[in-house]
Amino acid sequence: MSAPAIYPKNKEEIVVRYAGNPILTAKDVPAAANGVYNSGCIKTGKSSYVMLCRVESPAMKQFLWPADSTDGIKFKLRPEPIKMPDTPEFREYTTGMFYDPRVTKIDGKYYVVFACHSGHSCRLGLMESADMKEFNWVDFISQTDNRNGVLFPEKINGYYCRLDRPNTSDGRAYMWISYSPDLVHWGRSKALAVAQDEWGWKKNGPGAVPIKTDKGWLVIYHAVNVQCAAQYVYHLGVMMLDLKDPSKIIARAKAPILSPKTDYELNGLSYAVVFTAGAVVEDNGEVKIYYGGADRVQCLATAKLEDLIDACYNR
């Protein structure tokens, strides 16, 4: 048996929690709520950000609730959530459970991929918007038992590209990659990222929309280990994918870039969770990482893009 890896002590953490965390709580929702968390976010203008919040009601129903900001820090939820389709098919495959939206802009249009949960398990749904104000339902875009869908922000080799996290027969869940000519029909699927040693062997799934860099596609993802035989602990990791063939991992950090440590990350509707569904790269190279804390509150952390890239190779 090989000796366990020993990681050098970092002089400083490359991901810094915002001192005013959490940036959104249930008190900020214009309705009764248990929590607001795991929200996708995108910058729509020079000083315009839109966050699609996962809001949970006291009846355990879910809403996708837009919020606006001029600085990417202070967000205000709109008066009402997104109006979802009222059709027999949508009701059957959601039962009021839709959550963890990711927002990607492709060729001038915004696309929202989110989880849809029902008695048929979980599958992915897709909405589109021209302005992040009006949202139109497109279709279900995956088979059952799949979640955490994230679209790349451009076509690759003529195809749309998606990361997701289907569950597997061994009780674990790994990150996969798929391709589509039209965003609805998906195929050429490959297993991409599997076990990450001790800190992510139970689940590996995409988080924020992939960030294009000179070295490759930077992916901030979640990875889960299990403690005390039953307790899931969610961390954030980072990896680099090949620009022309994102089914190839170029480099991957050996340690998390963020793990639950604070009270708002350890204690909530769930225990010990940091979970991202959105990140924004600013012109100065700062990356705003939006993440949910303990399935209860919405949080923010920042990092330098160059540090996240370096972590893929040297952390």
Q: Average pLDDT by consecutive 10-residue portion of the chain (315 residues)?
A: 48 88 98 97 97 96 97 98 95 93 98 96 97 97 95 98 88 90 97 81 94 98 85 95 97 96 97 97 98 98 98 93
Q: How many CB atoms lie within 10 A of CB 234?
A: 28
* CA–CA dist 36, 54 (Å, integer): 5
Looking at residue 262, what is its pLDDT? 98
Looking at residue 10, what is its pLDDT? 55
In the chain, what are the domain boundaries?
Answer: 16-182+192-314
Look up the CATH number of domain 16-182+192-314: 2.115.10.20
Max distance between CA atoms of the chain, in angstroms, equals 58
Number of Cα atoms under 13 Å in the Cβ half of residue 253: 25
Tell me the residue type at 198: E
* CA–CA dist 201, 292 (Å, integer): 21
Looking at residue 12, what is its pLDDT? 65
Q: What is the DSSP letter of 275?
A: E
Looking at residue 9, what is its pLDDT? 52
* CA–CA dist 8, 217 (Å, integer): 26
Q: How far is CA 295 from CA 45, 163, 265, 279, 292, in A?
A: 29, 22, 8, 18, 6
Q: Which residues contact 27 (CB under 8 A, 6 or more apart)?
A: none
Considering only CA atoms, which of 177, 193, 178, 195 is closest in space to residue 250? 193
Considering only CA atoms, which of 158, 243, 258 is closest in space to residue 207? 258
Q: Which residues contact 12 (CB under 8 A, 6 or more apart)?
A: none
